[in-house]
Structure 1
Amino acid sequence: MRRFVAWGIVALALLGLAGFGGWMLTLPSSTATAEAPEVPQAEAEAMLASLKPPKRERPLIAIIGLNDATETTDYIMTAGILRRADIADVVMLATGPGPVQLYPALKAEPDATIAEFDAAHPEGADYVIVPAMSRDDDPAALAWIRRQAEQGATIIGVCAGAKVVAAAGLLEGKRATTHWYYRPRMLKLSPTTQYVPDRRMVSDGKVITTTGISASMPMMLTLIEAIAGRAKAEEVAHGLGVEAWSARHASDAFRITRAFASTVLVNRLAFWRIESFGIRLEPGMDEVSLALVADAWSRTYRSSASTFAATPEPVETRSGLRIIPDEAAGQWANDRMVSTFPDSPPAVALDQTLAAIAARYGSRTTDVVAMQLEYPRGPAR
C-alpha cells in the first residue's frame, strides 16, 4: 500500500511538470545584483525619532503571538535581543492560554495572555511587536493590536507581521514594507498603503514595518538605539556579531527565480529523504542562535529541526525565555544532531548554519533558505 501511494504521488508530480515547467520559464533566471542604495541621514534620523519611547522612561514592550501560528525567529529573536539590552521590560504574549507553537520550529511558553496583560497594564504598552503569523485574520489579535495603537503604542510589524498590521487597518495611507513574498497580500489587505522598496525598515508615524525574517536583528538594534543611544546599540550588536546595521536593502535581490523554484521542486519530490535533526536544549543557551538555527534547518524542504531535553519541562534560555522541548529524550543520534554554535555570536552562527546546509544539500538549497529569510549576506545584516 505504501509503495502504491508513493508511486501515485510521484506520478501526480510528473503529470504537473509540463505546466510547472511552462510557468518556470516565465521566471527570471537570477536575482538582480544591484547595490543597496544609501539611506539619507535625514531619513535615518526620522526613523530614530519615530521610535522614541512614547510613555514610560523605561518602556514596556509587548510581543504578541498566536498560540498556533507565529513565526519562530520573529517571536524569539526580537525578545532575546531586547532582553539582553536590558533597556525595557519585555513581555511575550499569546492570544490565549497555553504555549505558542512556532513555525517552522520551536515551542515557547509565553509570559501572559493578552487578557492578562490588559489587566496588569490597562494603560497599554509603549511598543507592540507583531511577528509574522500564518493567519492574518485572527479577531482577537487584530482587536488587541488596534486597541494598543489607540492607546498610543508604537506598532512594529516584523516581516510578514506587516500584513497583520495591515489587516488591523493601521497601514491605510501609510508607507510600509514587508517580506518580499507577502507584499501582494499586504497591499490587498490595505490598498492605500504605499510600498517602499530598497528599505529593510520603514517608519510612518507610530507604525514601523520591516522586510523579511532576518530584518528582526537590525530593527531591534535600531529600537535599542532610539531608546538608549548608539553606544548601547553598538554594545548589543557586538555581542550579536553584527558589524553594522541600517535600513539599506536591495529589494530586487529577493524574488522567485528559476533556480529557487526548481530547487524547491526537486527537494520536495525527494520526500522519502526528508531528515529530522535534533537540537539539544540547554539552560542558559542563546535563544537568538537557537531561533536562527532551528528556522534555517526547517526551511530547506529537505529537513526539519526538533528540540529535545532530558525532561518535558521548559528550558530557560540566556534571556529568560522558556522553550518547551518537542521530545523528552536524553540523547539523539549523533549524525542527526545540529549545533547552535554556542561559541559563536548569533549572526556568525547563522552563517555557519548556512555553510552546514550547503555542505549537506548543496549551495542552491542554502540560497533557498537565505531567500526565505530575506537575508542579505555580508557585513550589513
Structure 2
Amino acid sequence: MSKRVIVFGGIAVVLLGLAGFGGWILSLPSTTAAAEVPRVPQEETDAMLSALHYEGEGRPVVAVIGLNDATETNDYITTTGILRRADVADVVMLATEEGPVQLYPALRVEPDATIAAFDAEHPEGADYVIVPAMSRDDDPAVMAWLQDQSRKGATIIGVCAGAKVVGAAGLLDGRRATTHWYYLGEMLERNPSIDYVADRRMVADGNVVTTTGITAAMPMMLALIDAIAGPEKAEAVARDVGVEAWDMRHVSGAFKLTRPFATRVLANRMAFWNHDDWGIELEAGMDEVSLAMIADAWSRTYRSQAVTFAASPSAITTANGARILPDRVENGWQEDRTASIYPDQRPADALDRTLEAITGLYGEATTNVVAMQLEYFRRR
C-alpha cells in the first residue's frame, strides 16, 4: 500500500465514495471559525513546563519510536532534528523491528536502534518518549513498550495523531488531552474517558503530554528544550528554526472538514492523470527539519508526491544525524520538477516558501488543503 494515502488518504476514499451525494458536500460548513487566539493563563504554561521538567542527573535520554511500515514524517524527523540541534539530550530514533522506517507521506530513514536494543542498553528506560502518528494505533509491540516506559517513569509525548497511539495503550484514560483535528472524534470514540481540551496546542496531564496537528512538533520540542535547559536555549533554537512563538495558544475552531477542503481534495484526486513527482536531492549535511517539512507538504497536495533521489543507494546523513535513504538512485531530476529545501532559509521559512510554490502551481485552494492537514496557520 502507498504510505502516502494512509493519513488523509482515507479522506479521499470517503469523498470519492460519496462523490454522487452532493447533499453531503453541501452539508459541510463553508468556512472555519474566526481565528481569535485565546489567552493562556500563566499557571497553565508553568504547569506544562513543570510536567516536562527533567529531574534526573546528566543528560536526559529521549526515545523517538517509529513503526517500520509507516510513521508520520514530521513527527519522527522534525522532533529529532530540533532536539538534536539543541544538544541538551541524547536523542535516539527507534523502530519496532530491524530495517528502515518508511515514513508517510514521504521519506525513508534508517533508525538508530530497535526497541529491543534500546531496552538492553537502557534497562531503566527513557526519560522522554516521543510518539508520532503511525499507520496503526494498536501495534502490540508499541503498546507493550509504551506501557513499560510509562511504568519506568518516562514522560510520554504524543505528537499529532500519536495521541491516538498513546490512548490505545491506555495511557490517556481519564486524562486531559488533545490531538490532530481530523482524528479527534475517532480518539474520543475509542477512549470516551479522555477529557478533550480545545484551543491548546499542547496539553499535559501527569506524565503524558499530547499535541494538536503535525506542525505542533516544532513548538512542542521547543517547550521541551525550555523545560530541560531553560528559556534562553529554547529561544536560540527557535531563532535557528524560524519559530516566533512556542506557547500553548491554538485556535481549534480554525481547523475542520469544510466544503472547500472536501471539494478540492476530491477534484485533485480525480485528476489522477495529472499528478507530479517532485524530486528532492539528498545531500550530506542537509537540514533534516526543512527536508521533512518540505517533503511532507509536497506529498499532501493530492496532486503531487515528494521523491528523494541520490547517485548512490546508501543513506545520507543529515546535519543532525538522521540517515535518509533515497527513494530512487538517480544522478539528476527533471529541472522543472525538482523541489528545493531552500538551504539558505530557516526551516519554518522554507515551509512558507514551499507553500508559496504550491500556490503558484496548484492554486490557493490546494495550498489551503495542505495547511489544513498540517494544522498550520500560514504566515502571510
TM-score (norm 1): 0.94
**1:308, CA displacement in angstroms?**
0.5
Distance 1:351 1:18, change over 3 A: closer
CA distance in 1, matches of 2:59, 2:91: 10
Equivalent runs, 1:198-237 vs 2, <5 Å:
198-237=199-238
* Residue of structure 2 in register with 1:98 after alignment: 99
Q: Deviations over 1:195-245 (max 9, x none)?
A: 000000000011000000000000000000000000000000000011222
**1:13, CA displacement in angstroms?**
11
Q: Unaligned regions of 5+ residues in structure 2, if any?
A: 1-12
* Residue of structure 2 in register with 1:6 after alignment: none
* Residue of structure 1 in register with 2:127 after alignment: 126
Larger radius of gyration: 1
**1:336, CA displacement in angstroms?**
1.2
CA distance in 1, matches of 2:240, 2:31: 34
**2:227 pairs with 1:245:** no
* Residue of structure 2 in register with 1:27 after alignment: 28
Work out whether residues 95 and 114 of structure 1, in 8 Å CA contact, stay in contact via their aligned partners in 2: yes
Distance 1:140 1:227, change over 3 A: same
More moved, 181-190 vs 141-150: 181-190
Distance 1:14 1:343, change over 3 A: closer
CA distance in 1, matches of 2:17, 2:143: 38
* Residue of structure 2 in register with 1:48 after alignment: 49
* Residue of structure 2 in register with 1:288 after alignment: 289
**1:377, CA displacement in angstroms?**
2.3
Q: Deviations over 1:250-294 (max 9, x none)?
A: 000000101000000100110000111100001000000000000
CA distance in 1, matches of 2:343, 2:363: 24
Work out whether residues 54 and 154 of structure 1, in 8 Å CA contact, stay in contact via their aligned partners in 2: no
* Residue of structure 2 in register with 1:77 after alignment: 78
Amino acid at match of 1:217: M
Equivalent runs, 1:56-205 vs 2, <5 Å:
56-205=57-206
Amino acid at match of 2:88: I
Work out whether residues 69 and 103 of structure 1, in 8 Å CA contact, stay in contact via their aligned partners in 2: yes
Amino acid at match of 2:67: L
Work out whether residues 199 and 252 of structure 2, in 8 Å CA contact, stay in contact via their aligned partners in 1: yes
- Give the 3-state SS of the residue equivalent to 1:238 in structure 2: helix
Distance 1:310 1:129, change over 3 A: same
CA distance in 2, matches of 1:212, 1:291: 15
Q: Unaligned regions of 5+ residues in structure 1, if any?
A: 1-11
- Give the 3-state SS of the residue equivalent to 1:342 in structure 2: coil
More moved, 188-197 vs 51-60: 51-60
% identity of equivalent residues: 67
More moved, 12-21 vs 193-202: 12-21
CA distance in 1, matches of 2:306, 2:336: 13
Q: Deviations over 1:132-170 (max 9, x none)?
A: 012001000010011000000000000000000000000
More moved, 123-132 vs 28-37: 28-37
- Give the 3-state SS of the residue equivalent to 1:338 in structure 2: coil
Amino acid at match of 1:68: D
Amino acid at match of 1:278: G
* Residue of structure 1 in register with 2:10 after alignment: none
**1:190, CA displacement in angstroms?**
1.5
CA distance in 1, matches of 2:17, 2:74: 34
CA distance in 2, matches of 1:34, 1:215: 17
* Residue of structure 1 in register with 2:279 after alignment: 278
Work out whether residues 15 and 262 of structure 2, in 8 Å CA contact, stay in contact via their aligned partners in 1: no
Amino acid at match of 1:363: E
* Residue of structure 2 in register with 1:9 after alignment: none
Work out whether residues 56 and 126 of structure 1, in 8 Å CA contact, stay in contact via their aligned partners in 2: no
* Residue of structure 1 in register with 2:322 after alignment: 321
- RMSD of Structure 2 on Structure 1 (CA): 1.6
CA distance in 2, matches of 1:48, 1:378: 26
Q: Deviations over 1:335-374 (max 9, x none)?
A: 1101000000000000000000000000000000000000
CA distance in 2, matches of 1:37, 1:208: 20
* Residue of structure 2 in register with 1:350 after alignment: 351
Amino acid at match of 1:117: F
Work out whether residues 15 and 266 of structure 2, in 8 Å CA contact, stay in contact via their aligned partners in 1: no
* Residue of structure 2 in register with 1:376 after alignment: 377
- Give the 3-state SS of the residue equivalent to 2:21 in structure 1: helix
The count of residues paired between Structure 1 and Structure 2 equals: 368
Runs of 4+ in 1 over 4 A off after TM superposition: 12-18
Distance 1:176 1:343, change over 3 A: same
Distance 1:347 1:29, change over 3 A: same
Work out whether residues 16 and 266 of structure 2, in 8 Å CA contact, stay in contact via their aligned partners in 1: no
Work out whether residues 28 and 257 of structure 2, in 8 Å CA contact, stay in contact via their aligned partners in 1: yes
Q: Deviations over 1:9-42 (max 9, x none)?
A: xxx9999666431101110001111312011001
CA distance in 1, matches of 2:241, 2:305: 25
* Residue of structure 2 in register with 1:8 after alignment: none
CA distance in 1, matches of 2:348, 2:65: 24
CA distance in 1, matches of 2:311, 2:269: 32
Amino acid at match of 1:377: R
* Residue of structure 2 in register with 1:259 after alignment: 260
Work out whether residues 78 and 288 of structure 2, in 8 Å CA contact, stay in contact via their aligned partners in 1: yes
